[in-house]
Structure 1
Amino acid sequence: MSKKNMAISFHNHDNMIMLTRKYLKRKIMYPETKFRNHIQERLHVLELMKRTVDMGESNSVLLIGPRGSGKTTLINSVLKELSCSKNFQDNALIVSLHGLVHTDDRLALKDATRQMQLENVVEDKVFGTFAENLSFLLESLKSGDKKHSKPIIFILDEFDLFCTHHNQTLLYNLFDVAQSAQAPICVIGITCRLDVIELLEKRVKSRFSHRQIFLYPGDTSGSDIPASVFDDRLELFERLLSLPDDENVNKIEEENTECNIDEKFRAIWNDQIKSLKDNPTIINILKQMHKTDRTERKFRNFLAIAISSLCTSHQELEVDDFVQASKIFTQNDKVLILEGLSILEMCLIIAMKHETEIFDGEPLNFEKVSNRYLKFANQNSAIASVQKPVIMKAFEHIKNLELIIPVGMNQRIEKEYQSYKFTLTSQQVMEAVKNYQDLPTDITQWADSSII
């Protein structure tokens, strides 16, 4: 091969690497509508939406679960399935509102008007109250005989933030319309707040259907990962990092990505990914990550970090890329959070660490953790013991930081006995203890000593 042809070949290979990185990043990070878990919960949401669209039935429901548990993906997958129906395409309207964007009812109503394509109807109309505005919008959607309204699906993301609006007027009117069947609407709230019902005012709560669907990121009831669950994660690892084969390369439009990559290059790349999937170091990294956090979102973020190492001077993924990505992704952020906790909260974290080690990763609850902390505090005169309400407040802060995640949800169980999965490793806790400034020596020794 001439020098000129070699230069062209190297240039083409460099180009393939950059195209591969671009394609894989889009594939990994682009929001999917394919949903793999929570089959019954998804079916419940699907049926509610279908009844609103097909039969004109009004409904309201809250979809509740930790961040990354798949709430938004579930909704998107249901909407994608329903969009294949001609009745849904022709009649249904989707209004998506977000608590972080629509910070008051005025903004929410303005955007709802835009999404319902009624700006021209509202141009010269001025009403005194929110209820009058909403009533007018719903009336405007009625078809020619004035007896049938278009079904509307309201999706309220970060639903708990809408509870902070003045008098909860938006929620009151939406739930009131749904309850009184003035028009066929389905109100779906998405939130990570387990106590969201308690945020509703009495008059709003009385109009809500009290349907609640809980999502949790897989079975987290022990330290051992079922083989089938981890096999699914390995399969996802290979699927997300592989380039499409000849049969699937023409179907990429569905994923909103393009793959103009040479066939031979794709075959070589996919062989390398299969080899990585079987590598013991990679398997161990994935298992450790899966023990502490089984959410797909964080797994995808981890893969995106590894993919970022690809460049013209680093043209294939290596085991060390995933080792470095795991250090960046699974340790630093949580360790920094731990270093910002109060001493009491740090003590509870250490108690959780010991509880998890003693019982081999079994779920913990407030009573177990507080008792372990109080036992330590009572045996060390230098450590001031505090009352349980104060300990509960610290425990709630740790929960809100998502350093523990709930396991199941039984509303009959008092909150002191609600089960949680500890999401930190012993190494992360010990690193935070080491870096924590002015942590009393007794606490440092407790973290690293025989378990009390």
Structure 2
Amino acid sequence: MSKKKNMAIDFQDNMILLTRKYLKRKIMCPETKFRHHVNERLHVMNLVKRTVEIGESNSVLLVGPRGSGKTTLVNSVLKELSALKSFKDNAIIVNLHGLVHTDDRLALKDLTRQMQLENVVEDKVFGTFAENLSFLLDCLKSGDKHRSKPVIFILDEFDLFCEHHNQTLLYNLFDVAQSAQVPICVVGISCRLDVMELLEKRVKSRFSHRQIFLFPGDTSSSEQPMSAFDDRLELFRDLLSLPDDENVNKVEQQYDDCTIDPQFGSMWNDYIKSLTTNVTMVNLLKRMYHIDVSERSFRNFLAVAVSTLSEKHQKLEVNDFVEASKIFSQDDKLLILEGLSILEMCLIIAMKQETEIYDGEPLNFEAIYNRYMKFANQNSSVQSVQKPVIMKAFEHIKNLEILLPIGNTNTKFEKEYQYYKFTLTSQQVIEAVKNYSGLPTEVSQWASSSI
């Protein structure tokens, strides 16, 4: 009996360690399953496939804010296509990154390495970048002089390549793509929404002008639409679930050292599902989502929680997620507010009140000044301050990007009447007031007073 009991304990311990390993890989390797931007992903896949299958040259820019899934989308496309023998045997993928390849010489050197043509180039001297690139691409031609190996160029941080001298690399890549000399597909990835404006005229004329925009929370799916937070809750369940009976074989092929017992997996998944209905857990996830919608941060948070699993700690408790969230739920804007003066905090509260009264409409200095003065005149304990000093405090808040300008900001417009969008939520202001030590009672009461 004792031997059987020990075997059961060893089995359970082993399952927990395998679960931890499997979940961490699943969470930290998002390209294994790409969930969002269905139409955009299909668009990129079709462009790349046409380059490889029919020799069609293409160029495209993938644009969106950081954390919107641009690089993950491209990686997932390449991962799926690489499973096809025709793609794997024929296509060459060249990855260039604007932060690493800071000039065209470095980019060309790494491009040569990734295309495995160092021995061919050796000590050859080329007059221009174009001659060098043309020679490299010619080397890829097979026996049939009209047939060349297709090359997929991935240019991450694309906007940084625009800073290279004369944009030579971009000009030549787009020129090759436009003239269809050899089949290439240039995929640029950038978080600059105005990236097209950075291209020189001669470069822009050779670009296809094909842009694909990604935005966080945009699923682009034909399925029944769900709220952004419901989608986050679904991601929570999906990332922490173990493979079911149908998928266990796929997992064994992908992670041959993570074979998990289906019965154990079923019990684990039932428990994870119960967490998605736990009030404390749901409120925690909501609070984190309001602070940061980035999926990357969310995955990092889950990885920290999963790391707590061990032979002695075999269950993910709600408290494990609460503790993990403390690392990620620091609101940067609240930290900025802690350093403000009392006058600046008063102006922040006035902005909160103004935004609530006018339902999120833009505000200007005059409106905030009048609201603050009304409060100051009603409270004798609040020291009166001259208008230029209040304007200085307002400017400081603006410089912290708590206020974002709207519309025309040229000098013809008097700065007192320039409109701004207030970027803080009411909850953030109330939280900042609570954390502010030494704030007069009247100011605290003003912040929490209902309009």
TM-score computed with the length of structure 2 as normaliser: 0.77
Query: Structure 1 residue 200 and structure 2 residue 206: aligned?
Result: no
1:104-140 CA deviation, whole Å, 9 max, x = no partner? 2222111111221212211131223322211111121
Larger Rg: 2
Separation of aligned partners in 2, 1:97 and 1:16: 40
Query: Structure 1 residue 385 and structure 2 residue 391: aligned?
Result: yes
Note the residue ranges of structure 1 that are not aligned, 5 or more in a row: 221-225, 400-412
Separation of aligned partners in 2, 1:389 and 1:203: 41
Separation of aligned partners in 1, 2:343 and 2:203: 37
3-state SS of 1:313 partner: coil
Q: Is the 8 A contact 2:433 2:444 kept in 1?
A: no
Give, in angstroms, the shift of residue 64 of structure 1. Answer: 0.6
Q: Please tell me the residue identity of whatever aligns with 1:192.
A: C
* Partner in structure 2 of residue 305 of structure 1: 304
* Partner in structure 2 of residue 289 of structure 1: 288
* Partner in structure 2 of residue 79 of structure 1: 78
Give, in angstroms, the shift of residue 237 of structure 1. Answer: 1.9
- Taking every aligned residue pair, what percent have the same amino acid on both sides? 68
Separation of aligned partners in 2, 1:443 and 1:213: 51
* Partner in structure 2 of residue 159 of structure 1: 158
Q: Please tell me the residue identity of whatever aligns with 1:306.
A: A
Separation of aligned partners in 2, 1:263 and 1:297: 29
* Partner in structure 1 of residue 29 of structure 2: 30
TM-score computed with the length of structure 1 as normaliser: 0.77
- How is 1:36-435 mapped onto 2 (pairs within 5 angstroms)? 36-218=35-217, 227=226, 229-253=228-252, 255-256=254-255, 258-332=257-331, 335-336=334-335, 368-369=361-362, 371-377=363-369, 379=372, 381-382=385-386, 383-385=389-391, 395=401, 426-432=426-432
* Partner in structure 1 of residue 222 of structure 2: none
Q: Please tell me the residue identity of whatever aligns with 2:189.
A: I
Separation of aligned partners in 2, 1:355 and 1:278: 37
1:161-196 CA deviation, whole Å, 9 max, x = no partner? 222223322112212222333322211110111122
Q: Please tell me the residue identity of whatever aligns with 2:391.
A: S
Q: Is the 8 A contact 2:156 2:190 kept in 1?
A: yes
3-state SS of 2:330 partner: helix
Q: Please tell me the residue identity of whatever aligns with 1:134.
A: L
Separation of aligned partners in 2, 1:288 and 1:139: 56
Separation of aligned partners in 1, 2:358 and 2:141: 60
Separation of aligned partners in 2, 1:252 and 1:294: 29
Q: Is the 8 A contact 1:24 1:240 kept in 2?
A: yes
Q: Please tell me the residue identity of whatever aligns with 2:165.
A: H
3-state SS of 1:147 partner: coil
Q: Is the 8 A contact 1:94 1:155 kept in 2?
A: yes
Q: 1:260 to 1:144 in 2, by over 3 A?
A: closer
Give, in angstroms, the shift of residue 420 of structure 1. Answer: 9.2
Give, in angstroms, the shift of residue 94 of structure 1. Answer: 1.3
Give, in angstroms, the shift of residue 95 of structure 1. Answer: 0.9
3-state SS of 1:156 partner: strand
Number of aligned residue pairs: 424
Separation of aligned partners in 2, 1:273 and 1:24: 12
Q: Is the 8 A contact 1:292 1:425 kept in 2?
A: no
Q: Please tell me the residue identity of whatever aligns with 1:151.
A: P
Q: Please tell me the residue identity of whatever aligns with 1:385.
A: M
1:241-298 CA deviation, whole Å, 9 max, x = no partner? 1222333222114654642344554343223212212212222223333445444323
3-state SS of 1:331 partner: coil
3-state SS of 2:391 partner: coil
CA RMSD, Structure 1 to Structure 2 (Å): 4.2
Give, in angstroms, the shift of residue 61 of structure 1. Answer: 1.4
Q: 1:76 to 1:290 in 2, by over 3 A?
A: same
Q: 1:209 to 1:281 in 2, by over 3 A?
A: same
Separation of aligned partners in 1, 2:350 and 2:91: 52
Q: Is the 8 A contact 1:58 1:179 kept in 2?
A: yes
Q: Is the 8 A contact 2:365 2:394 kept in 1?
A: no
Q: Is the 8 A contact 2:94 2:115 kept in 1?
A: yes
3-state SS of 2:65 partner: coil
Give, in angstroms, the shift of residue 215 of structure 1. Answer: 0.4
3-state SS of 1:13 partner: helix
Q: Which moved more, 1:186-195 or 1:42-51?
A: 42-51
3-state SS of 2:329 partner: helix
Give, in angstroms, the shift of residue 63 of structure 1. Answer: 0.5
Q: Is the 8 A contact 1:339 1:435 kept in 2?
A: yes
Separation of aligned partners in 1, 2:287 and 2:329: 9
Q: Is the 8 A contact 2:126 2:132 kept in 1?
A: yes
3-state SS of 2:284 partner: helix
